[in-house]
Structure 1
Amino acid sequence: MTLKTLTLSTLTCALAMHSAYAETYPTKPITLIVSAAPGGTTDIAARMVAEPLSKALGQSVVVENKPGAAGNIAAQQLLKSKADGYTLLLQYSGYQVITPSVMKVQWDPVKDFAPVANVLSAPQVLVVKKDLPVNSMKDLIEYAKAHPGKLNYASSGNGSLQHVTTELLNQMASIETTHVPYNGTGPALTDLLGGLIDFTVTTPPPLLAHIKAGSIKPLVVTSNTKLDSLPEVPTAAEAGLPDLQVSSWFAMYAPKNTPKEVVEKLTTEIHKIMETPEYKAKAQTLGATAEYMDAEQLGKYTQQEVNRWKKVVDAAGIKQQ
């Protein structure tokens, strides 16, 4: 047997083994690491997928919350896991594509993970305190230019999506506002409601009740389509900021070198789940959309988002605090 024949035979055997593995996968419970504490949108997205995926695969999908260090703890756990499809990560986009530009990490958001599927997306809503004398984005920008550095905006932490989104707005509109980081969206919203902060930008779920009560004023939705839950709020394009397209997205990743057939099996089942009326309705109640991306699409989008936000982070001089 020649070396060429032996190499071809070895390759054929390896492919056959991969195929057989995918056919029997999974044969035991799957751990789905979540980079946030229970109750938040990342956790909700994970559980929206985990239960129906368990039924589809015939094995338990166990959600394991590993919050902390801007997603670094969860990412590190996946990095050290076997590439066998039994350990997966449900990651929040801000952690996946912004954290590596803000702090030193031992993982690459593109090279070290195998994308599986995007499972949920949610645009941001910019809201201001009720007594701020502005009623539109045009008003806000004019007010900020007339009072440079005087407007304070809240975020859920240094380097968070709220932080870099507002810095993107500052750069686009040529305005100067002052960042006040909080330890989470909850405390930031409390101070906004109390009038201690002028504005913030975050996903709809924690804002909807307060907007409907008139406690805060929404000025823009950072998407190209209006939200069903906030039909009166203009899109970024309608507000004169067409490039302010920002969504939080929540995606599943596996360790790199996970068999392609396993990834495809997971992606296929997740797509089926996301097409169900129940899943779409749940997403809508969160002010989100069941925006599916397959593995290839998610991989390309992850790289695009890494490139986009690195430019914003570098231009704003955002560093780990």
Structure 2
Amino acid sequence: MRRFTTTLAIAATLFASSTAFAQSDAQSGSDTDWPTRPINVIIGASPGGDTDFNARTFAQYFEQVTGQSMVVTNTPGGGATIATSAVRDADPDGYTILFGHTGHLIVAEVSGLADYGLDAFEICCVPAVDQGAVIVTSSASGIESVEDLVSQTKESPDSVIYGTELGGYSHLQGLMLQNQTEAQMRLVDTGSAAEKIAALLGGRIQVAGIAYGAVQDYVEGGQMNVIGQPNDARNPLIGDIPTFAEQDIDFVMTNPYIIAFPKGTDQAIVDKMGEIAEEISEIPEYAEALEQGFKQPVSFMPRDEAVTRLNEIRDRYMDYRDELQASR
């Protein structure tokens, strides 16, 4: 009798939970009760970086909105192809998603690291846009401006080393900076953002593209200089730093984050995730967390707008395909 009573209690709890989800879906106009269990979120980056921060911050508010958790799994390596392949090949049941950015889903294709791209996934939305990236130099290099960078490389070709991850997003940053300024730098594979910072401080490289939040203390302490931000308009959260466009340099490279599902995932699930992501973007505490974490303004693009924007970025990056692939 006791076992029967316990079973009834569990059944009643499950029924109440499913009823609550159904009521929520009815109010939002969705016809799916997803999610009913934790979501596996795969990211192609190590813990502690900007992608990891964005994914985990989003996961925190996803649970607040839906009552279901997100389990973030860091799967770095291979230019994020290990992570993207895992999601591409996963069961399209709505419980495995990719939280990545253009470096993972566009640059990897352009550079030849992956033989697939955006079309291999169900793109849901752009839940955030990284506008905190800056180009920094070590103070020891004597490079305090774009003019200094160009003149130093003209006086001594290849003497200025740009630290990057060959075949990845920061490599493309270096190529675009170099092409638009005519500064002939030597691009060297130095690894992650933490490794770039160590290399800048140690004098092994002179220039790198890094999130401002990761180098702010060194800039304020005088060990590093910021020569520009590659945004189309100033990000006011990173201080009085001019864009490259303000310096008459056509170097704009914002980095949208992307939520994507395996191909074949029910469109109702994809749509509902988009609705949830938009709701999260309207939570003041979420915006405050992004600002404090990586000096990132809150932003959101629904599916159609996201796909259009991402394909525009892909078309532009394809101009650098041969240079990226030559480095491999």
Asked if TM exceeds 0.5, the reply is yes
For the residue of structure 2 that corresponds to 1:59, the secondary structure is coil
Task: Specify which of 175, 186, 191 is matched with residue 183 of structure 1.
Answer: 191
Task: Specify which of 258, 267, 275 is matched with residue 260 of structure 1.
Answer: 267
Task: Specify which of 95, 105, 118 is matched with residue 114 of structure 2.
Answer: 105
Cα distance change on mapping 1:30 and 1:133 into 2, 3 Å: closer
For the residue of structure 2 that corresponds to 1:205, the secondary structure is helix
In structure 1, how many angstroms separate the alpha carbons of the residues matched to 2:104 and 2:76? 11
Whether 2:92 is the aligned partner of 1:83: answer: yes
Which residue does 1:94 correspond to in 2?
103
Which residue does 1:62 correspond to in 2?
71
In structure 2, how many angstroms separate the alpha carbons of the residues matched to 1:214 and 1:240? 26
Cα distance change on mapping 1:104 and 1:166 into 2, 3 Å: closer
Task: Specify which of 175, 178, 193 is matched with residue 170 of structure 1.
Answer: 178
For the residue of structure 2 that corresponds to 1:114, the secondary structure is strand
Which residue does 2:14 correspond to in 1?
none
Whether 2:230 is the aligned partner of 1:208: answer: no
Which structure: greater helix fraction?
2
Identity of aligned residues (%): 22
Which residue does 2:122 correspond to in 1?
114
In structure 1, how many angstroms separate the alpha carbons of the residues matched to 2:220 and 2:209? 17
Q: CA deviation at 1:272?
A: 1.0
Q: CA deviation at 1:150?
A: 1.8
Which residue does 2:285 correspond to in 1?
278
Which residue does 2:59 correspond to in 1?
50
Q: CA deviation at 1:317?
A: 4.9
Which residue does 1:11 correspond to in 2?
none
Aligned residues: CA RMSD: 2.0
Code of the residue aligned with 1:61 in structure 2: it is M
Code of the residue aligned with 1:276 in structure 2: it is I
List per-residue Cα deviations over 1:76-126 (Å, max 9, x = no partner): 1111112221111101321211111223435x2221111112122223211
Cα distance change on mapping 1:130 and 1:280 into 2, 3 Å: same
Matched residues, number: 298
Task: Specify which of 138, 141, 146 is matched with residue 137 of structure 1.
Answer: 146
List per-residue Cα deviations over 1:278-309 (Å, max 9, x = no partner): 11111112122222111112212222222222
Cα distance change on mapping 1:77 and 1:162 into 2, 3 Å: same
In structure 2, how many angstroms separate the alpha carbons of the residues matched to 1:77 and 1:240? 42
Which residue does 1:10 correspond to in 2?
none
In structure 2, how many angstroms separate the alpha carbons of the residues matched to 1:31 and 1:249? 21
Code of the residue aligned with 1:114 in structure 2: it is E
Cα distance change on mapping 1:24 and 1:317 into 2, 3 Å: closer
